[in-house]
Amino acid sequence: MLKMPHLQKILASFALAFLLLVTACSPSPPSRFEQAQQESTQPKVTAVSPEAKAGGEFNRFFPQSKDVVFSQEKRGFAQAKLKQDGKEMATLSIVDLNDNSAAIAKYEDSLETVGGYPVVEVGSTGTGLLIDNRFQVKVLSRDPDFSSSDRRLWLEKFDLAGLGNMAVATGEENE
Amino acid sequence: MSKTIYELVDDLPERNLTIFALNSLDFVIPGQWQNLTGFENTIREITGETDEAIIQQIGDRAVWLYNDKSQGYQQALWLYQTIDRAGSALGSAALANKVGEKIPLLGFLNRLTPKADRAQTLDLSLKLVVEIVAYCRINGIPGDSIGDFVAALVDNYTGPSLMRMSALVCFDGLIPLGTNFLSQVETTLNNLSPKALEDNESYQRIHDSIPGNSTTGKLEFINRSFESVQGWMGDLVRDRDLTAEKVADRLSSFIDFSEGKLDYLAAFLDVSTNYYEHTGIQTLARSLIERAVAEI
């Protein structure tokens, strides 16, 4: 019969070997984006609603300036870059938030308005504006010199009233 | 299973022959391309955002957009990958142990077949077509006019897209074809029959993605693609006074080759690098993140 201390040693070395085996073989920790990956690959889910406006419908509401260069146009989304002296200062965008309730919800606590529409600061580089719970206008700084007040200034340069009219017309179409 | 968007960006290599080759072009576009890798890192660099909750939202939204096949991102990736895999006889395995030491081209000569000029000009044209089609898949067709579109396309030539186009000019134009490569491409395309196009291996892989109802229609699209960026490429060569010798000279810091073997050098780069795929993933991630941050 083995003496107890001897048995303990054997058990301890087994335990150690087992521990090493487990840690060596365990997969790397899941990515923080794993949940989004799982949810977005379920059958019949889409990122963009087919009901969303074509991006090209937003172009005419962007600030009219030679410094504004269009850069993306996808369903429910149009984006332009603000370039000054060849340098990218900000990106400007209009998004159809059709069924994106999480994005709409952030305006609930808004205390400020621009052109009569609620605005919020999003993170440290963006300012968003919501039109009729439907369209989001956003200005994002791409240069440290482009401040929060610059973002508000450029939000005012969009044709917000025109977008408001489109939001009303879209609402009536859907009724 | 195919990789997720965050895996694709996380897995971008930091050190291999493709990166060495691209870094050697820093003299063409000084300081304009850094090898940005890692998904979270890319979000932080592009948006300048530091708020963790916002970074999570941007990443999540980008994952959703990428996985919605109707949004075109996956097809753009496929195009970048497919045009790069025309010939990878010298797989990364053969070269893996060569990184860090100077590669003697002499040792690979028997495994390299320089392309005939016509095949090379056609490959260059098809890479351009992929550039434009992938651009449209990723960014749509921005603006309301052809002028808006061309302005957006050329304006897009920053960072990884600018590096890809510079590498196209240098590695697929100047080195194999010489300084007058643009006129060679023009001549080839003007005299190309639909049948000859159909015989091209790269064309066979990607023809379904090229706009046009027939081979003749697709050939017209290829011609128009070339015309739309020919001026930009010519300006780059002229402004930087680029020659095959200058580009080759930079490559000689890590590839050992003798003069007069530029066609072999071109063939070697073709089979040992995947700069279209590498910078294509970086371009795709950039547009995707820029869209995601606007949509949250």
- Quickly list DSSP for chain A: ---HHHHHHHHHHHHHHHHHHHHHHSPPPPPTTHHHHHHHTSTT--SS-TTSPPGGGGGGGS---TTEEEEEEETTEEEEEEEETTEEEEEEEEEE-TT-HHHHHTTTT--EEETTEEEEEETTTEEEEEETTTEEEEEEE-STTS-HHHHHHHHHTS-HHHHHHHHHHHHHHH-
DSSP A118: E
pLDDT of residue A1: 47
The segments of chain B whose pLDDT lies below 70 read: 1, 86-101, 146
**Pair of tokens at residue B70:** 């109707």
Q: Do the domain assignments include residue A149?
A: yes
Quick one: CA torsion of B257, B263, B269, B271, rounded to 10 degrees? -120
**Is pLDDT larger for residue A26 or for residue B56?**
B56
What count of other Cβ atoms lies within 10 Å of the Cβ of residue B180?
A: 13
The distance between the two most distant Cα atoms of chain B, rounded to a whole number of Å, is 57
- CB-CB contact of B22 with B32 (8 Å): no
Q: Are A71 and B156 in contact (CB < 8 Å)?
A: yes
Q: Do the domain assignments include residue A6?
A: no
Q: Which of A72, A102, A125 lies at the smallest CB-CB distance from B140? A: A72
**Pair of tokens at residue A165:** 């009219």
**Distance to chain A for B291, nearest Cα, Å:** 8
Cβ-based interface (< 8 Å): residues of B facing A? 4, 6-7, 10, 39-40, 47-51, 54, 56, 59-61, 63-65, 67-68, 70-72, 138-144, 148, 151-152, 155-156, 158, 287, 290-291, 293-296
pLDDT of residue A23: 56
**Is pLDDT larger for residue A105 or for residue B148?**
A105
Residues in chain B with CB shorter than 8 Å from the CB of A138 are 294
**Pair of tokens at residue B41:** 């890192």
The range of the structural domain enclosing residue A72 comes to: 55-174
Rounded to the nearest 5°, which phi and psi values hold at B275? -70, -25
**Pair of tokens at residue B203:** 């064309």
pLDDT of residue B99: 57
**Pair of tokens at residue B277:** 């795929």
Average pLDDT, chain B: 89
Residue B103 DSSP SS3:
strand
Mutate to test the interface with B, among A74, A125, A135, A139 (most CBs of B within 10 A): A74
Give the pTM.
Answer: 0.89
**Distance to chain A for B210, nearest Cα, Å:** 20
**Pair of tokens at residue B73:** 């991102």
Best CA proximity match to B119, nearest among B263, B237, B265, B272? B263
Q: Are A36 and B142 in contact (CB < 8 Å)?
A: no
Q: How many residues belong to chain A?
A: 175
pLDDT of residue B92: 52
Q: How many residues belong to chain B?
A: 296
Q: Do the domain assignments include residue A78?
A: yes
pLDDT of residue B106: 75
Q: Do the domain assignments include residue A66?
A: yes
Q: Do the domain assignments include residue A39?
A: no
Q: Return d(Cα B269, Cα B263) in angstroms, integer.
A: 10
- The amino acid present at A115, given as its one-letter code, is G
- CB-CB contact of B153 with B265 (8 Å): no
Q: Looking at the DSSP assignment, which residues form a beta bridge with residue A91?
A: A81, A140
Half-sphere exposure of A32 (CA within 13 A, CB side): 13
pLDDT of residue A17: 66
Quick one: CA torsion of B157, B160, B164, B169, rounded to 10 degrees? 50
- CB-CB contact of B279 with B164 (8 Å): yes
Task: Specify the CATH number for the domain of residue A71.
Answer: 3.40.1000
**Pair of tokens at residue A112:** 């400020």
pLDDT digits (tens, 9 = 90+) for B212-252: 999 999 999 999 889 888 999 999 999 999 999 999 999 98
Q: Do the domain assignments include residue A3?
A: no
Identify the band that residue A26 occupies on the pLDDT scale cut at 50, 70 and 90. low
pLDDT of residue B111: 77
pLDDT digits (tens, 9 = 90+) for B7-50: 999 999 999 899 999 999 999 999 999 999 999 999 999 999 99
Q: Do the domain assignments include residue A71?
A: yes
Q: Are B51 and A123 in contact (CB < 8 Å)?
A: yes
What number is the average pLDDT over the span A36-41?
A: 96
- The amino acid present at B52, given as its one-letter code, is E
Q: Return d(Cα B66, Cα B6) in angstroms, integer.
A: 10
For B251, residues 6+ apart whose C-beta sits below 8 A from its C-beta are B21, B24, B257, B265, B269
pLDDT of residue A20: 60
Q: Do the domain assignments include residue A143?
A: yes
Residues in chain B with CB shorter than 8 Å from the CB of A74 are 71-72, 139-140, 291
Q: Which of B50, B51, B60 lies at the smallest CB-CB distance from A36? A: B60
Number of domains comprising chain A: 1
Residues in chain B with CB shorter than 8 Å from the CB of A61 are none
A29-51: burial string, b at 16+ Cβ within 10 Å, e else: eebebeebbeebeeeeeebbeee
